[in-house]
Amino acid sequence: MASLSRDRLEAALARINDPKGEGSRAFRKLYAEEARAAADAADARAKHGHSLGPLDGKIVSIKDLFDVAGEPTTGGAKVYESAAPAKADAPVIQRLRGAGAVIVGKTNMTEFAFSGIGMNPHYGTPGNPADRGRVPGGSSSGAAVALADGMCEISIGSDTGGSVRVPAAFCGVTGFKPTQSRIPRTGAMALSLTLDSVGPMTPSIADAAATDAILAGERPPKLVLREPSALRLAVARGRLLSGLDKAVESAFDRAIFLLGRAGARIVDIDIEPLLDGLDQIHAIGSISAVEAAYVHRDVLDKRAREIDQRVVRRIQSGCKVSGADYVRMIEIRRATVEKAAEQFAPYDAIVLPTTAIVAPVIADLAKDDELFARVNLHVLRNTTVFNLLDCCGLSLPIPDAGPLPVGFMMMGARGTDANILAAGVAVEKLFH
């Protein structure tokens, strides 16, 4: 017999409120009484044999950048605590409520969602579940820790350059980044109008697929059961496999070995020409920085000293890009996305380690701005490429990777979300 939603919620709330745990750093706001009412309603429906779908009664956290009616949307920033309250729930929040999800609270994040590390100087940094002295990954930091620590059953985050997949990899959970256009971003505080996407972190790919469908306003899919021997996987050899931690390299090699032994067809693929195209963008500047400078222009002009200065410096670099150069970046990206879609079409997934390194130590990064900047770029290197290429994809934990989790990233061309999820199920089954 399935456990009651109310019982599971109370267990989650107990973990959040445990003074020895990470709840105070993982969450920015709790909706305890509202969640209890939603859980009770879900249990009443279940008692009478009525279900609103696979998320009915599930305990869900939402990142601190989604609008909830009647409260300001702060995006991990103190400067927005006094902002005007949202007039309505964001569409994805409406869809979650309509599916019976029990929204337990808003999770902490990197300020403005602008870092893959997950540190926040205002509200604290939730410790990595595998080692509390290490970062959780970002920007959806609290989302990953909340899920891994049993404070919720599903976490909703956003991914601009890896902000779902990186914390999923560091914290040992599954993260899914959809093709950007499938899920509405209205009511989600933007970092990059061009690159932002909304996606879940979940215990399994089946949960990810169900959640993704609800967020997209689609019917939850019946995932096609596939065997690893039916998969066509391409390893992106080259610079994205350079500079790996030994633990990451060993875990990824073992994952490829397991897949090959199970009969998956694995080939090497050269994506260096695509990366050369993206290098042309990087030579001009950062699309995210330019667009963040627009989104947050008012507080940057008036209250920059109250914002994480590491975030401020990254955004201010976008102010130096001219309008003509910005359009040039967008046009280069458009052309490169088309080439990627064509090159990736023959494969079920392009595979790589999600991050080149395991989760770094919080204290090391806190005291050294130069180290922080360098590590942040290295952490985001593999994931950011696929946001720029408008891909969809997963990060799932590699088994027996060692004391610190390592993520296995599976990316597909835009619009191949269902195929990536089905391929992911086959890999997940093998890994377990």
Residues labelled as active-site residues: 63, 139, 163
Q: How far is CA 185 from CA 90, 182, 270, 418, in A?
A: 8, 9, 33, 20
C-alpha 86/C-alpha 70 separation (Å) is 5
C-alpha 222/C-alpha 210 separation (Å) is 9
Q: Which residues of 271-280 are buried (b: 16+ CB within 10 A; e: fewer)?
A: beebbebbee
C-alpha 142/C-alpha 129 separation (Å) is 11
Query: Encoding tokens for residue 159?
Result: 């991914």
C-alpha 282/C-alpha 425 separation (Å) is 34
Query: Encoding tokens for residue 324?
Result: 């003509």
Q: Are 412 and 392 in contact (CB under 8 A)?
A: yes
Phi, psi angles (nearest 5°) of residue 197: -145, 160
Strands 174-177 and 197-202: antiparallel
